[in-house]
Chain A
Amino acid sequence: LAKTTQPISMDSYEGQEVNITCSHNNIATNDYITWYQQFPSQGPRFIIQGYKTKVTNEVASLFIPADRKSSTLSLPRVSLSDTAVYYCLVGPKAAGNKLTFGGGTRVLVKP
């Protein structure tokens, strides 16, 4: 399983863009990159998934360079409610696969 490394914490202010970079140097060819979000005292929640280049949805964008050894989650114009822990996960697409969480990045959005 590819190991992931991401910053422990980041501070931001309302209205700013937050970019969280995750390193996954030994990502396998069939691995996908997935990000989950966890609010305090809640279960994790899927945000976005990608394999290469750029993926965008209504919540975030995910940028993956050609070598796929890292990825960047971009949260546009954050609000206070985006304060959460963000987890980068790497693994193959398959039904019923367990999720392996790292330490995540604690993002604090200040007013």
Chain B
Amino acid sequence: EPEVTQTPSHQVTQMGQEVILRCVPISNHLYFYWYRQILGQKVEFLVSFYNNEISEKSEIFDDQFSVERPDGSNFTLKIRSTKLEDSAMYFCASSMGLVSYDEQFFGPGTRLTVL
């Protein structure tokens, strides 16, 4: 069964450093998403991406965040200058773009720890 994959599974970085989180969405999917979940809190939407551009973003997704689909398979989230409060689990998801119901398939997540 096709699945969303994410690398790395755990990333530790120093405050102020740049990190890139990588995702490989399901191959025939058209919409891509990033969500995050701070430990013990709810899953929060960050951004959605369609047709090579951002279709929606939340207030969390400020100028320090960016997304890119550098080739036909990868989808990345870059955090330019990490802060302590960026420590969280980051989930990538993808969906086919169906009008009937656009089920989102989530990856296993990347745990980001900012020291």
A residues in contact (CB < 8 Å) with B: 32, 34, 38, 41-46, 49, 87, 93-104
Interface size on B, residues (CB 8 A): 31
Q: How far is the CA of A43 from the CA of B58 in the complex (A)?
A: 19
- Among A38, A87, A99, residue most surrounded by chain B Cβ atoms (within 10 Å): A99
A-B contact count (CB 8 A): 64
Q: How far is the CA of A97 from the CA of B99 in the complex (A)?
A: 10
Digit string of B76-115 for contact with A (CB within 8 Å is 1, else 0)?
0000000000000101010101111111111111000000
Within 8 A of A (CB), among B62-77: none
B108 near A32 with CB under 8 A, answer: no
B45 near A100 with CB under 8 A, answer: yes
B48 near A98 with CB under 8 A, answer: yes
B residues in contact (CB < 8 Å) with A: 4, 30-31, 33, 35, 42-45, 48, 50, 55-56, 58, 89, 91, 93, 95, 97-109
Q: How far is the CA of A96 from the CA of B33 in the complex (A)?
A: 9
B99 near A43 with CB under 8 A, answer: no
Q: How far is the CA of A46 from the CA of B95 in the complex (A)?
A: 12
